[in-house]
């Protein structure tokens, strides 16, 4: 597996990471613990050394799972986790008060069975707490050796600049993919200017870009996509054109749609590291294979031309969650 640097932070990670949220919740039933541990360790065996979690995933269970799975190779992996919700529950609202951050980090260290967190993200900007107070608290944790790097998630340009002035921001994590390209407008230029890495979550459009989901797909009752406007039956039907175009390009490269979608992301900037998630070993192997797929100038031009003809339909979040992004 090739390695990439997240901006100018000095943090080097595998070119593709593993988003671990779906192992514990959000996309239907949690994966059985033994199977989840096997999948995480298989990812490591295949060159992945960058694993993404959060106290809110589960909540709490995902960090504990990661701590157990990665214990044998702890010194050879980069663990990212997050703070920012009351009691670790997104439904209860935001909480980035300094005392909360410190308590969350102590609890996360125990669950992760480690003495340091390589990359600690603020999960969402908390408008009740000045970003300078948030970052100042993280800086104390960095000085104490409990956190090595600070990151932000779904933050807007102003917040990124203010945070970076207090403590270098190593990475921003936000949604970015062939069907959500908003970061190109304001976010990517700021990250490039400041030397901050970018970690796209949902790089496969929450599974849609793989071609495995169509208008007839039925999601489990507890699957988050049931409330995402982009995943209504009508919108899935309207967005099928993008999957069709991806299929044509993939066929010409002897690759899969998912691999083309991930390779496209990595081709945008050398400091972009996508973190696709999966519960299936064959999908894990497919995603990792994207690290070896090179899209040339003609491929990228063909994709850009095709995208110009396609209008993606539907919001990426329900309204009550959309208000917490790009602050």
- Please give the average per-residue pLDDT across 89-102, as a whole number: 97
Contacts of 20 (CB under 8 A, 6+ apart): 40, 51, 52, 53, 57, 62, 65, 66, 277
Residue 147 covered by a domain: yes
Residue 148 covered by a domain: yes
- Structural domain that includes position 62: 3-207+269-293
pLDDT over 80 (residue 254): yes
Cα separation, 129 vs 139, whole angstroms: 16
Q: 149-175 pLDDT, tens per residue?
A: 999 999 999 999 999 999 999 999 999
Whether 57 is a known active-site residue: answer: yes
- Please give the average per-residue pLDDT across 182-186, as a whole number: 96
Residue 281 covered by a domain: yes
Task: Say what the pLDDT of residue 320 is.
Answer: 75
Q: Which of 27, 57, 121, 176 is catalytic?
A: 57
pLDDT over 70 (residue 17): yes
Cα separation, 16 vs 97, whole angstroms: 32
Partners of residue 82 on adjacent β-strands: 121
Output the domain CATH number for residue 192: 3.20.20.100
Number of helices (H) and strands (E), helices first, in the chain? 13, 9
Contacts of 158 (CB under 8 A, 6+ apart): none
Residue 107 covered by a domain: yes
Cα separation, 299 vs 74, whole angstroms: 38
Confidence of residue 317 (pLDDT cuts 50, 70, 90): confident
Burial tier of 126 (Cβ tally within 10 Å: 0-12, 13-18, 19+): buried
Task: Say what the pLDDT of residue 326 is.
Answer: 65
Cα separation, 276 vs 303, whole angstroms: 20
Higher per-residue pLDDT: 195 or 27: 195
Residue 224 covered by a domain: no
Residue 71 covered by a domain: yes
How does 233-269 read in b/e, with b if 16+ C-beta sit within 10 Å? eebbebbeebbebbeebbeeeebbbbbbbbbbbbbbe
Cα separation, 11 vs 32, whole angstroms: 32
**φ, ψ (nearest 5 deg) of residue 315:** -70, 155
* Global pTM value: 0.95
Q: What is the mean pLDDT of the chain?
A: 95
Give the tokens for residue 23. Answer: 């192992």
Check residue 231 and report its DSSP letter: G
Residue 203 covered by a domain: yes
Planar angle of CA 202, 206, 313, nearest 5 degrees:
105
Q: Please, are residues 127 and 298 in contact by the beta-carbon 8 Å criterion?
A: no
pLDDT over 90 (residue 323): no
| Residue entry with tokens 């039933």 | 29
Task: Say what the pLDDT of residue 205 is.
Answer: 93
Task: Say what the pLDDT of residue 324 is.
Answer: 73
Q: What percent of the chain has pLDDT over 70?
A: 99
- Low-confidence winner among 121-130, 239-248, 271-280 (lowest mean pLDDT): 239-248
- Low-confidence winner among 79-88, 105-114, 260-269, 314-323 (lowest mean pLDDT): 314-323
Contacts of 275 (CB under 8 A, 6+ apart): 16, 17, 18, 19, 50, 52, 173, 199, 200, 201, 203
Number of domains in the chain: 1
Task: Say what the pLDDT of residue 306 is.
Answer: 86
- Please give the average per-residue pLDDT across 231-260, as a whole number: 92
- Please give the average per-residue pLDDT across 33-58, as a whole number: 98
Residue 72 covered by a domain: yes
Task: Say what the pLDDT of residue 321 is.
Answer: 76
Q: 189-205 pLDDT, tens per residue?
A: 999 999 999 999 999 99
Going 54 to 55 to 56 to 57, the CA torsion angle's sign is: positive
pLDDT over 80 (residue 82): yes
Q: What percent of the chain has pLDDT over 90?
A: 85
Task: Say what the pLDDT of residue 26 is.
Answer: 87
Number of Cβ atoms within 10 Å of the Cβ of 99 = 9
Q: Please, are residues 43 and 77 in contact by the beta-carbon 8 Å criterion?
A: no
Cα separation, 60 vs 146, whole angstroms: 18
Confidence of residue 309 (pLDDT cuts 50, 70, 90): confident
Q: Please, are residues 253 and 178 in contact by the beta-carbon 8 Å criterion?
A: no
Higher per-residue pLDDT: 71 or 245: 71
């Amino acid at each position: 597996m090739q390695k990439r640097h997240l901006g100018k932070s000095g943090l080097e990670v595998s070119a593709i990471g593993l988003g671990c949220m779906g192992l514990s919740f959000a996309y239907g039933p949690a994966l059985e613990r033994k199977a989840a541990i096997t999948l995480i360790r298989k990812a490591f065996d295949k060159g992945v050394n960058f694993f993404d979690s959060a106290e809110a995933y589960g909540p709490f269970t995902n960090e504990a799972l990661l701590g157990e799975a990665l214990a044998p190779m702890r010194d050879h992996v980069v663990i990212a986790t997050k703070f920012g919700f009351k009691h670790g529950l997104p439904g209860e609202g935001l909480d980035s008060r300094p005392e909360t951050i410190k308590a969350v980090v102590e609890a996360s260290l125990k669950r992760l069975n480690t003495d340091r967190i390589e990359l600690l993200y603020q999960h969402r900007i908390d408008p009740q707490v000045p970003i300078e107070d948030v970052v100042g608290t993280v800086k104390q944790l960095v000085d104490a050796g409990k956190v090595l790097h600070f990151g932000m998630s779904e933050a807007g340009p102003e917040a990124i600049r203010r945070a970076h002035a207090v403590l270098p921001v190593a990475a921003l994590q936000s949604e970015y993919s062939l069907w959500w390209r908003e970061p190109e407008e304001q976010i990517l230029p700021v990250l490039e200017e400041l030397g901050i890495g970018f970690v796209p979550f949902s790089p496969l459009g929450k599974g849609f870009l793989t071609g495995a989901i169509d208008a007839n797909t039925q999601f489990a009752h507890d699957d988050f996509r049931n409330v995402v406007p982009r995943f209504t039956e009508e919108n899935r039907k309207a967005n099928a054109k993008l999957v069709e175009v991806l299929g044509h390009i993939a066929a010409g490269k002897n690759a899969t749609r998912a691999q083309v979608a991930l390779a496209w992301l990595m081709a945008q900037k050398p400091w972009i590291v996508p973190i696709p998630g999966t519960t299936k070993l064959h999908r894990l192997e497919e995603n990792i294979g994207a690290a070896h797929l090179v899209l040339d100038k003609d491929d990228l031009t063909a994709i850009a031309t095709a995208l110009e003809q396609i209008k993606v339909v539907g919001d990426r979040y329900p309204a009550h969650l959309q208000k917490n992004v790009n602050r």
